[in-house]
Amino acid sequence: MLREDGQVACSGLMAIDFGLIGMEIQHRVCGGMKVLCLSIVLAMAFLGCQKAMPELDPNKFVSTAPGKAYEVSKEGKPDSLPAEKLPGISDDLRPSGHKLTLAQLVDVALRINPDTQEAWDRARSAAAQWGAARGDYYPSISGDVSGTGIGGSARGVLGQVGVSLSYLLLDFGGREASVQSARQALAAANWNHNQAIQDVLRNVPQAYYNYIGYKAQVRASEASLKEALTSLNSTEQRRKAGVSTIADVLQARSNADQVRLTLVANRGGVQVSRGELATAVGWPANIDFDVAVEPEDSPASRMEQNTKELINLALRDRPDFESARAIVRQRKADLDKAESDLWPKLIATGNVGWTGIDARMSGSGGSFEGTDIDSSGISYYGGLALQFPIFEGFSLRNKVRAARSDLEAARAALRAKEVGVIADVWKSYYNVRTAAQQVETSKTLLASSKESYRVSLARYRAGAADIVELLNAQSLLVSARSQEVEARTDLFTYYAELVHAIGADLPSAPTGNLPGPELKGEEPPHGKK
């Protein structure tokens, strides 16, 4: 509704005083204001239909007290994601699902393990970020298309089309530093991906060897239980013959119960270790599978390198060490970028545009009444802009300080990583040497313990030995049998740890025997000749 004082009333909501603009053109925007008001009302109605409105009362979406757990409503529970579907045994492995080899398990882990998937996706993201950083080498071109409807005394349309260009010519190395930082971030992400693969190549074999080690312990406990029951039967027969007492029977029975308890624990260890192996592969722990028979030979070839050579290999090949190096280079580029922000930037700018208007004047009176306006034109410009910081609230200087501290921290982390790599190789190397020697010693111990138990049992049956001698011989045999299995398991797991410490790939099949005392090339301690 048009009022006499030159204002337009819009449904009683507001009044706008237009007056006279330019060439006696009066613009009436009542219709536009109605549309705006209607849009606001519809937006409020839409938001009112939404149940989750934390902007009004955020406390509704947390627990009501410090000691009370938050209860998620049925509507607030998110839908299941596709990634939550856990993988199972693939069709190509089902025929051998209960006889899987180490090579098959490693192959599956490299395909489905979530750690390698995550590291790979992070590397892909870093590659895309490097590409995004290199976009600063190209000019920035943007387009603008707009159209405006004109209402009131002048009715028509106004259109504009424009293209703008901006290109950074000089920033004292800031652009190059940003690209270098992104490139080194990609290098670190790629090395982290390689390290994730190395971790899988260690975790799966170690879990595999632990699993078959527990299965061997079960077999050893079953053999020990059989021997314990034999001893118990001998004591019962001697008691019936009147040459033994009830105390001998009770001691033999207690010994058998102790062996039976160990057997139960080892059987539980088999189930736990199988779940750990499935988890290392990337399967759920309750998946139904089994592995092939235990390998007889050591998975390592003859080692002739000394610790110095192995340490040099690790410092050359360890992915996590290379990642630490890349982070140092990334932090150096970040420092260069922060320092370049203190200097001016030279930017080239340009614009070309077209503007057109098609309108007709109308109204009550005036010299322009009934006039048609139809015109268009092209405009363009180009120039150079020099931007330089004058005062940024000390933020630029503090960013330089932060970047320099980050660089020093990365260098310290690199030194710590180098020390850790050397310690890993040193520890793993001597663990392998020790385990290899223990395997040979445990075999000798087991053989002598078996013979000792056989002789003691015969002496006990003949009445030449007492129950204490028999049970001691049997306990030594149980311990020797368990130590022999543990030594072989340790040799496999320590070897996997040594390969991981060096940064090499673990052979998936046995390649020979790992000698114990025959490990060659060890340098004298403390540099002595």
Inside any domain, residue 124: no
**Spatial distance between the Cα atoms of 292 and 301, rounded to a whole number of angstroms:** 21
Domain count, the chain: 3
Which residues lie below 8 Å from residue 483, measured CB to CB, with a gap of 6+? 438, 442, 445, 446
pLDDT tens-place values along the chain, 529 residues long:
334 343 434 333 333 333 333 333 334 334 445 545 555 656 555 555 555 677 778 888 788 888 888 887 766 566 655 555 667 777 666 655 568 889 899 999 999 999 999 999 999 999 999 999 999 999 999 999 988 877 767 778 888 899 999 999 999 999 999 999 999 999 999 999 999 999 999 999 999 999 999 999 999 999 999 999 999 999 999 889 888 889 989 999 999 999 999 999 999 999 999 999 999 999 999 988 899 876 666 655 456 567 888 899 899 889 999 999 999 999 999 999 999 999 999 999 999 998 888 877 775 555 556 677 778 889 888 899 898 898 888 999 999 999 999 999 999 999 999 999 999 999 999 999 899 889 999 999 999 999 999 999 999 988 888 999 999 999 999 999 999 999 999 999 999 999 999 987 654 433 333 333 333 334 433 334 3
**Final residue in a domain of this structure, among 329, 364, 387:** 387
366 and 439 part of one domain: no
> What CATH number does the domain containing 224 carry?
1.20.1600.10
329 and 366 part of one domain: no
Inside any domain, residue 23: yes
270 and 374 part of one domain: no
287 and 163 part of one domain: no
Inside any domain, residue 286: yes
Q: Residue 22: which domain range?
A: 7-49
Inside any domain, residue 416: yes
315 and 463 part of one domain: yes
270 and 402 part of one domain: yes
Q: What angle do CA 429, 431, 433 make, to 5 degrees?
A: 70
487 and 379 part of one domain: no
Inside any domain, residue 163: yes
Q: Is the dihedral of CA 452, 457, 462, 468 positive or negative?
A: positive
399 and 374 part of one domain: no
320 and 410 part of one domain: yes
Inside any domain, residue 56: no
Burial class (CB in 10 A: 0-12, 13-18, 19+), 427: middle
326 and 428 part of one domain: yes
**Final residue in a domain of this structure, among 328, 353, 387:** 387
417 and 479 part of one domain: yes
Instruction: Check residue 301 and report its DSSP letter.
Output: -
Inside any domain, residue 400: yes
**Final residue in a domain of this structure, among 387, 413, 440:** 387
Inside any domain, residue 310: yes
Give CA separation, 456 vs 92, 222, 349, 481, in Å.
Answer: 53, 20, 100, 17
209 and 238 part of one domain: yes
